[in-house]
């Protein structure tokens, strides 16, 4: 059959062929329909999905970091600004073998183990396609090396960003504070969108307190990228809004002089504008360089700072709590006078010690040789010469309740409300306080201790300045603040109603007594009066670090310096028309008169000469203005 | 006869014209190919990053292709039938040479450097194999007997294996199918068809274990779930589907396709060029191209049906069908319904050898279509 057919039969050949072609054509039609259905499905049914995919592919929204607000001192000197730096970042999604890449980078530029460790930590909490920083502050050489080798290092990016910088270094560390990398705890608390452009946040000081003003608003740009993540063009952009600039009351020159005046001593100083509460200088010595913290401090540096016995990171000005010692005497004298427990005619005899009935142990007068201040000691003399026995007696008469409740009006025992985080309240003890904290009743002995600023009483240097300011202004209660204006908008002075009902004559009396502390020949701070062109009113103080028994002498040569008394001084100037108040402490400085008061003198001198300069400038400025206006008028 | 009238009506209207007789040009095919080539150049310009580099090279190949096609068409079909084994043999030698002297790219040795340019001998086998089988079976019994089937299969399998060894699975499959289609058109009996289907089924696991390389296996696995490995092997498919899908009905406009212009699309000027077309010209563009293709295929089949010899029938028919198969495989793989194998889109994808091969094939078809009619006394 087959053979027969095989003898060339073109018709049969053709018919078989046509039959097969028809079968094949059927398959062709089916397959063509499958293909067309597939394309129609992709391009019509699923079109929208793929449009989304395609846009996701090419369009990325990139946050654009706003410039953080700049911080200026009152004269326009920059205390904190932003400098461009280059950082090495890696986009995880763009690299195939991350470990290999890091090894390669490590062979080109120096990478510390800490860098790598921190990088992996950051990597864990990054957003997809985010640039994760590996190394900050690349040197010019490192940038060049990376630029040359970029083609070998897929996924790396050298990106410029603004880094916070503190040109004054340690000078303002405790006031301005610093920014640092956002840590995990903070990450949970912040709005991740607001912070999408930045990886730092105010950690301490003004940087933390005014974080929401300084931050600014993040901008965004839609960028079209190619498959390698290279940005081809920016489609549209919403500009970031820079953070608000802060102008402070702080005065760089005054701050520098205050800082230098400590000359290696530990301590703190607050200088405050009496009229508006503005903080003119704020020193906590020793200080540290805040720039170390900006890009993440190295463990070594951090250990150095944390383990130092001088505690440079500790802001003594608002967090240090010290017994105020004799610096509270003018205040307590005022309270005694107001409550009529004493009058300006009250005189006592001071044998050098005080004995309370029923108590065997006498109270010493710390500020006199054996034998005491003698007879006929009145309030003024008790302040000028710092007589303890007068205040022991007055304290008993006035009583704890009046002392503490009226001291509170002067800012003791409560936070002053300064615009800094972490302020502590000190202790202005009351019966209730002792009951609650010590579970003990209040004894007269406690009142006696407290009446010379010892015992349970604790104050911060800031509180001393605030107290002095309120005495100087005769009871005006202004809240201390560091920031003068935000974005050129002046911050209002926070004035509270004057709650003290103190006679004008009592104010005058106390002011005069404080002036005489410096200017009288008997004054404990007379040493700073030489060559003064203006008058200072002040009060020295000494705070015991360890208690000395009445029958023992305080002999510093027997003690470690860390156990020496703290030296304190409060002051305002000019005495007749007060403008500036100071509270300061020198830790283990021994005596307010010899160590603390000279620091205050330097600061006040600087303030007064600044003031004189300012007045001169003001005069010349207005002259220039006049001539300019005249010129303009002429030109028109 | 009814059947013949039907066929005659669809014969080339230009079949009797002087120009096609003397010049041996099939005008319809010629015009269709011209349109396809222009279409191809337009898409290559966009896919190549709006650079004339690829366009110029492709244009040169196209001109060479047209000249070659017309040259091939001048030789009578019988001479091609006679010399088929020479081409086939030459092709095999080239394939062997590739395995020994070939230059590679991306893990495969496919090119033969001949100084002026580089050739892909495997592409030539796409036309040499059907030519050989058509010539072999054209002179033999219809339907082919066992012995002829055996030798035919042998002549198909041999180059296929050489090509798969390169490795170039895509071309291997295309070459195999082109040879097999000749057998099918020659009337291969049902039992062989069923048998070969079973054999193919059995061959799949064998291929998986012994023939396929890891990356080829990966491509098959990727087809099954491309989303698993978006940045790795699945990247190509995900991106090409996105390109096609986002093009929609009317497309994003010429040179406006973001997927291709921003390099998300891999191999955009070669194997994946249909995705560029689909993205920029939309479904309308795809349908236009597909219509052109179908017209070419219909023309090939008509030439086959009207061919004067069994050789002509088999060659023209198988060529038309395998031309469709190229399109199916390419468009299927780019749209994610077939595994990614190296298979260019005929006439459109950038690639010199592929273009030349196709033109040689079309030249032979023109030779077949313009063959002088034999007197058919029996009709």
Q: What is the pLDDT of residue A334?
A: 93
Q: Phi then psi for A496, rounded to 5 degrees?
A: -110, 155
Please tell me the number of Cα atoms within 13 Å of B17 on its side-chain side. Answer: 12
Residues A546 and A417 occupy one common structural domain: yes
Q: Is A199 annotated as a binding residue?
A: no
Residues A201 and A112 occupy one common structural domain: yes
- Residue A472 inside a domain? The answer is yes
> Which string of DSSP letters, residue by residue, matches A285-316?
ES---THHHHT---HHHHHHHHH-TT-TTS-H
Residue that the structure tokens 């000081």 belong to: A205
Provide the chain B residues 255-274 that lie in CB contact (below 8 A) with chain A: 258-259, 262-264
Q: Does B286 touch chain A (CB under 8 A)?
A: yes
- From chain A, pick out residues whose CB is under 8 angstroms from the CB of B243: 54
Q: What is the pLDDT of residue B361?
A: 94
- Number of structural domains (chain A) is 2
Residues A230 and A357 occupy one common structural domain: no
Residue spans per domain, chain B: 18-369
Cβ-based neighbour number of residue B141 at 10 Å: 18
Give me the domain span that covers residue A585.
Answer: 315-481+488-615
ipTM of the complex: 0.89
Give chain B's length: 379
pLDDT at B378 over 70: no
Q: Is A3 annotated as a binding residue?
A: no
Please tell me the number of Cα atoms within 13 Å of A42 on its side-chain side. Answer: 31
Q: What is the pLDDT of residue B5?
A: 46
Q: What is the pLDDT of residue B15?
A: 47
Burial A326-351 (b: 16+ CB within 10 A, else e): bbbbbbbbbbbbbeebbeeebebebb
Contact A47 B246 (CB under 8 A): yes
Contact B304 A21 (CB under 8 A): yes
Choose one of A204, A228, A248: the last residue of a domain.
A248
Residue spans of chain A under pLDDT 70: 1-8, 93, 125-130, 227-230, 367-371, 499-500, 546-559, 592, 621-636
pLDDT tens digits, B162-174: 888 877 888 888 8
Q: Is A373 annotated as a binding residue?
A: yes
- The SS3 of residue A569 is strand
Catalytic residue among A86, A287, A326, A368: A326
Question: Contact, B330 vs B344, CB < 8 A?
Answer: yes
Question: Contact, B81 vs B55, CB < 8 A?
Answer: no
Residues A214 and A354 occupy one common structural domain: no
Structural tokens at position B266: 């891999």
CATH of the domain at A110: 3.90.1310.10
Residues A143 and A234 occupy one common structural domain: yes
More confident residue, B320 or A225: B320
Q: What is the pLDDT of residue B32?
A: 95
Q: Partners of A568 in the beta sheet?
A: A541, A585
pLDDT tens digits, A288-327: 999 999 877 888 888 999 898 889 999 999 999 999 999 9
Q: What is the pLDDT of residue B267?
A: 79
Q: What is the pLDDT of residue B185?
A: 92
Q: What is the pLDDT of residue B204?
A: 78
Q: In Å, how far is B162's CA from the nearest CA of chain A? A: 28
Contact B241 A39 (CB under 8 A): no
Contact A43 B244 (CB under 8 A): yes
Q: What is the pLDDT of residue A424?
A: 94
CA dihedral B225, B229, B232, B235 (to 10 degrees): 60
Q: Is A273 annotated as a binding residue?
A: no
Q: In Å, how far is B145's CA from the nearest CA of chain A? A: 8
pTM (2 d.p.): 0.63
Report the residue of chain B nearest A26, measured CA to CA.
Answer: B321
| CB neighbour list of residue A555: distance below 8 Å, 6 or more residues apart | none
Contact B145 A2 (CB under 8 A): yes
pLDDT at B106 over 60: no
Contact B317 A18 (CB under 8 A): no
Residues A222 and A327 occupy one common structural domain: no
E-strand ranges in A186-340 read 200-204, 219-225, 231-238, 246-248, 267-273, 279-285
pLDDT tens digits, A44-98: 999 998 888 888 777 777 788 889 999 999 999 999 999 888 888 888 767 778 8
How far lies A21's CA from each of A33, B146, B195, in Å? 18, 22, 21
Residues A195 and A95 occupy one common structural domain: yes
Residues A386 and A243 occupy one common structural domain: no
What percent of chain A has pLDDT above 90? 46
| CB neighbour list of residue B314: distance below 8 Å, 6 or more residues apart | A17, B130, B133, B134, B137, B138, B182, B185, B186, B304
Cross-chain CB nearest to A53 (options B242, B297, B304): B242
| CB neighbour list of residue A578: distance below 8 Å, 6 or more residues apart | A274, A472, A473, A537, A572
Residues A215 and A335 occupy one common structural domain: no
Report, as an integer, the average pLDDT of B145-157: 90
Cross-chain CB nearest to B324 (options A15, A17, A28): A28
Q: What is the pLDDT of residue B145?
A: 86
- Residue A132 inside a domain? The answer is yes
Q: In Å, how far is B49's CA from the nearest CA of chain A? A: 12
Of the candidates A247, A193, A248, the residue with the CA atom closest to the CA atom of residue A215:
A193
How far apart (Å, rounded) are the C-alpha atoms in residues B40 and B33? Answer: 10
Q: What is the 3-state secondary structure (H, E, C) of B160-204?
A: HHHHHCCCCHHHHHHHHHHHHHHHHHCCCCHHHHHHHHHHHHHHH
- Residue A633 inside a domain? The answer is no
Residues A244 and A320 occupy one common structural domain: no
- Residue A45 inside a domain? The answer is no
Cross-chain CB nearest to B185 (options A17, A35, A54): A17
- Residue A626 inside a domain? The answer is no
**Can you say how many angstroms the Cα of residue B16 is from the centroid of all Cα atoms in its chain?**
29
Give chain A's length: 636
**Can you say how many angstroms the Cα of residue B206 is from the centroid of all Cα atoms in its chain?**
26
How far apart (Å, rounded) are the C-alpha atoms in residues B138 and B148? Answer: 11
């Amino acid at each position: 059959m087959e053979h027969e057919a095989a003898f060339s039969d073109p018709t049969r050949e053709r018919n078989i062929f046509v039959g097969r072609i028809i079968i094949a054509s059927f398959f062709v039609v089916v397959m063509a329909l499958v293909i067309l259905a597939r394309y129609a499905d992709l391009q019509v049914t699923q079109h929208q999905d793929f449009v989304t995919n395609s846009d996701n592919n090419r369009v990325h929204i990139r946050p654009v970091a706003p410039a953080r607000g700049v911080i200026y001192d009152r004269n326009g000197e920059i205390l904190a600004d932003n400098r461009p730096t280059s950082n090495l970042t890696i986009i995880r999604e763009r690299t195939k073998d991350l470990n290999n890449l890091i090894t390669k980078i490590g062979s080109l530029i120096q990478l510390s183990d800490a860098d790598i460790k921190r990088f992996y930590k950051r990597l864990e909490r990054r957003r997809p396609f985010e640039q994760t920083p590996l190394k900050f502050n690349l040197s010019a050489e490192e940038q060049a090396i990376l630029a040359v080798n970029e083609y070998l290092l897929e996924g790396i990016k050298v990106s410029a960003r603004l880094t916070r910088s503190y040109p004054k270094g340690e000078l303002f560390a405790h006031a301005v504070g610093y920014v640092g990398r956002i840590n995990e705890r903070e990450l949970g608390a912040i709005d991740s969108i607001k912070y999408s452009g930045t990886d730092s946040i105010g950690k301490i000081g003004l940087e933390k307190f005014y974080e929401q003003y300084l931050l600014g608003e993040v901008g965004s740009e839609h960028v079209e990228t190619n498959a390698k993540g290279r940005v081809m063009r920016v489609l549209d952009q919403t500009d970031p809004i820079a953070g608000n600039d802060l102008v402070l009351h702080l005065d760089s020159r005054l701050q520098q002089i205050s800082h230098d005046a400590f000359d290696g001593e530990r301590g703190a100083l607050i200088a405050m504008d009496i009229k508006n509460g503005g903080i003119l200088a704020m020193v906590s010595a020793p200080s540290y360089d805040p720039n170390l913290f900006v890009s993440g401090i190295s463990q070594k540096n951090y250990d150095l700072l944390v383990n130092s016995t001088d505690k440079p990171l500790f802001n003594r000005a608002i967090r240090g709590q010290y017994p105020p010692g004799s610096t509270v005497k003018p205040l307590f004298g005022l309270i005694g006078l107001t409550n009529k427990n004493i009058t300006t005619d009250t005189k006592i005899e001071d044998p050098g010690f005080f004995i309370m009935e029923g108590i065997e142990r006498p109270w010493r007068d710390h500020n006199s040789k054996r034998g005491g201040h003698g007879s006929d000691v009145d309030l003024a003399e008790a302040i000028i010469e710092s007589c303890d026995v007068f205040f022991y007696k007055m304290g008993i008469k006035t009583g704890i309740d009046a002392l503490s409740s009226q001291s509170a009006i002067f800012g003791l025992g409560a936070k002053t409300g300064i615009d800094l985080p972490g302020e502590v309240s000190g202790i202005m003890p009351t019966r209730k306080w002792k009951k609650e904290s010590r579970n003990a009743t209040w004894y007269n002995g406690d009142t006696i201790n407290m009446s010379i600023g010892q015992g349970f009483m604790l104050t911060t240097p800031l509180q001393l300045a605030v107290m002095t300011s309120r005495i100087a202004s005769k009871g005006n209660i202004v809240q201390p603040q560091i920031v003068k204006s935000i974005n050129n908008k002046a911050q209002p002075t926070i004035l509270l109603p004057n709650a003290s009902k103190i006679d004008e004559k009592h104010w005058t009396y106390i002011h005069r007594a404080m002036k005489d502390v410096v200017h009288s020949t008997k004054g404990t701070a007379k040493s700073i009066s030489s060559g003064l062109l203006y008058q200072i009113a002040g009060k020295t103080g000494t705070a015991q670090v360890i208690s000395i028994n009445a029958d023992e002498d305080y002999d510093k040569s027997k003690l470690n310096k860390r156990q020496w008394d703290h030296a304190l001084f409060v002051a305002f100037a000019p005495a007749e028309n007060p403008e500036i108040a100071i509270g300061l402490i020198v830790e283990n400085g021994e005596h307010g008169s010899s160590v603390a008061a000279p620091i205050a003198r330097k600061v006040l001198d600087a303030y007064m000469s600044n003031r004189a300069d300012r007045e001169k400038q003001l005069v010349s400025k207005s002259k220039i203005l006049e001539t300019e206006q005249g010129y303009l008028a002429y030109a028109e | 006869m009814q059947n013949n009238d039907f066929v005659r009506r669809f014969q080339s209207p230009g079949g009797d014209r002087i120009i096609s007789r003397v010049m041996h040009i099939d005008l319809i095919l010629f015009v269709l190919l011209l349109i396809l080539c222009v279409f191809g150049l337009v898409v290559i310009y966009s896919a190549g990053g709006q650079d004339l580099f690829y366009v110029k090279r492709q244009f040169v190949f196209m001109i060479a292709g047209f000249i070659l096609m017309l040259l091939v068409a001048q030789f009578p079909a019988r001479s091609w039938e006679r010399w088929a084994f020479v081409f086939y043999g030459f092709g095999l030698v080239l394939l062997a040479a590739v395995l020994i002297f070939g230059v590679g790219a991306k893990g495969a040795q496919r090119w033969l450097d001949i100084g002026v340019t580089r050739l892909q001998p495997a592409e030539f086998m796409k036309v040499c194999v059907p030519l050989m089988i058509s010539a072999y079976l054209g002179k033999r019994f219809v339907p082919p007997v066992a012995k002829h089937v055996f030798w035919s299969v042998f002549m198909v399998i041999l180059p296929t294996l050489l090509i798969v060894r390169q490795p170039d699975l895509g071309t291997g499959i295309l070459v195999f199918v082109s040879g097999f289609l000749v057998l099918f058109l020659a009337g291969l009996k049902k039992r062989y068809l069923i048998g070969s289907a079973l054999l193919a089924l059995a061959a799949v696991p064998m291929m998986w274990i012994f023939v396929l390389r890891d990356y080829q296996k990966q491509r098959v696995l990727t087809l099954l779930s491309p989303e698993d490995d978006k940045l790795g092997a699945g990247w190509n498919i995900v991106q090409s589907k996105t390109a096609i899908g986002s093009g929609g009905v009317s497309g994003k406009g010429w040179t406006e396709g973001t997927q291709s212009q921003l390099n998300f699309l891999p191999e955009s000027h070669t194997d994946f060029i249909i995705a560029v077309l689909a993205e920029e010209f939309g479904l309308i563009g795809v349908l236009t191209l597909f219509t052109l293709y179908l017209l070419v295929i219909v023309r090939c089949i008509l030439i086959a049906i009207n061919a004067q010899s069994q050789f002509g029938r088999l060659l023209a028919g198988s060529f038309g069908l395998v031309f469709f198969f190229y399109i199916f495989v390419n468009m299927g793989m780019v749209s994610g319904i077939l595994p990614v194998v190296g298979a260019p889109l005929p006439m459109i994808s950038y690639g010199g050898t592929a273009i030349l091969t196709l033109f040689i094939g079309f030249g032979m078809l023109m030779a077949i279509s313009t063959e002088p009619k034999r007197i058919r006394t029996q009709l």
